[in-house]
Amino acid sequence: MRALILDGEALLESEDVDEIQAHHAAGHNMWVNLGERSPNGERVLREVFHLHPLAIEDVWNDLDLPKIEDFGDYVHIIIHGVLESDRDAKDVPLELAELDVIIGRNFVITFAGERGCGVAPVREEVRRNARLLKRGPAWVAHAIMDHLVDEYIPVIDAFDDQLDTLEARILDEEGNEDEDREIMQRVLRIKRSLQRLRRTTSHQREILLRLARAEFDEIPKEAMPFYRDVYDHFARVTDLVDSYRELTTSMLEAHLSLQSNRMNEVMKRLTIISTIMLPLSLIAGIYGMNFKFMPELDVRAGYPAALGLMAVVATAILYWFRRKGWL
């Protein structure tokens, strides 16, 4: 746990609970970042800021879905960011990270775990220039959310690259059974990740919309355009997620259709071969019967005549198939 405290023009950093309490009582703007769960963190939330027990419980627990709750003196926001992904990876590794933001009259509290989304760059910015903290807690929260939304872009781009690669492979007519199975598994994994991402982003979009409308007293009117800008950026992210979900469904259908077409081609060839061989088998079966009184058995040219008949029949069938456009 570490607090950035604005005392006049001086920016202080402290981990001492009593010092944080004294500055809070004096009305100094501060940003408390809870790096991990600790006794000092518990004490700050309970004794310094007097947060509701349910809010404290939500801070320490991992929630699957975003939420926002107004407690009167402060508003508790739970949103999710994405951790940086390897764009060269075979599949897009989707890892969501919860971010808790509590905005009060003169304080903002954040908890994002060890790999927090959007917190580190804003913390360094405030250390270099305390302008954000001077303007108020809502501005610090806006900067964090802005960075969090920006971190979605590389992940969305990675999905785009992976889908383009899979689309090219699906349209490749030289696919084999192993490749088809691999493509199917990858498309299903991406679709599952996009479904999880959409479930989170759809709820999160509504939260950002409520903040952009300044439904809460902790968000000043002059900050509304900036929160609205964050909402607009995130709305584009959700639209891309929806479009990629539809694209994966279409790709899956196209892949299954191409597999079916390839199977139909195989069955067509086998059917043609079977159709040609059937009358030849009939001729061979007839002349393969060992009846004593078969007049053709005494014909000297019977064997080449039977082969010639088979050749004529096969040629006639092939010619008929070609006339029909089946070959």
- Position 57 scores a pLDDT of 92
User: What does the pLDDT look like over 182-199, one tens digit per residue?
Assistant: 888 888 888 888 888 888
pLDDT band at 87 (very low <50, low <70, confident <90, very high): very low
Kindly state whether residues 251 and 275 are assigned to the same domain: no
User: What does the pLDDT look like over 10-45, one tens digit per residue?
Assistant: 999 999 999 999 999 999 999 999 988 888 999 999
- Segment 222-246 shows an average pLDDT of 91
Q: How many residues does the chain have?
A: 327
Kindly state whether residues 217 and 277 are assigned to the same domain: no
Among 232, 260, 288, the domain boundary falls at 260
Q: Of all helices (H) and strands (E), which one includes residue 77? A: strand 75-82
More confident residue, 305 or 238: 238
| Start-end of H helices in the chain | 17-25, 39-43, 53-60, 119-128, 131-135, 137-150, 152-170, 177-212, 224-287, 302-324
Reference 306, options 294, 296, 298, 292; nearest CA is 296
pLDDT of 88 higher than 80: no
- Position 8 scores a pLDDT of 86
Kindly state whether residues 112 and 220 are assigned to the same domain: yes
Token pair 């270099």 is found at 128
Residue 104 is part of a domain; what is its CATH number? Answer: 3.30.460.20
6: β partners: 11
Kindly state whether residues 291 and 189 are assigned to the same domain: no
Separation between Cα atoms, residue 36 and residue 113, nearest integer Å = 6
User: What does the pLDDT look like over 128-174, one tens digit per residue?
Assistant: 989 889 999 999 999 999 999 988 888 888 888 888 888 887 777 56
CB 160 within 8 A of CB 245: no
Q: Is 154 helix (H, G, I), strand (E, B) or coil?
A: helix
Kindly state whether residues 249 and 279 are assigned to the same domain: no
Average pLDDT over the chain, rounded to an integer: 85
- Position 108 scores a pLDDT of 94
Among 260, 291, 308, the domain boundary falls at 260
Token pair 């990270």 is found at 97
Kindly state whether residues 142 and 108 are assigned to the same domain: yes
Domain that holds residue 288: 269-324
pLDDT of 231 higher than 90: yes
Among 212, 236, 260, the domain boundary falls at 260
pLDDT of 215 higher than 50: yes
pLDDT band at 71 (very low <50, low <70, confident <90, very high): very high
Give the global pTM.
Answer: 0.76
Overall number of domains in the chain: 2
Strand 75-82: give its sheet, edge to edge: 10-14, 2-7, 30-34, 107-111, 96-103, 75-82, 67-70
3-state secondary structure 186-249: HHHHHHHHHHHHHHHHHHHHHHHHHHHCCCCCCCCHHHHHHHHHHHHHHHHHHHHHHHHHHHHH
pLDDT band at 253 (very low <50, low <70, confident <90, very high): confident
pLDDT of 264 higher than 60: yes
What angle do helix axes 119-128 and 137-150 make, rounded to 10 degrees? 130
Kindly state whether residues 243 and 278 are assigned to the same domain: no
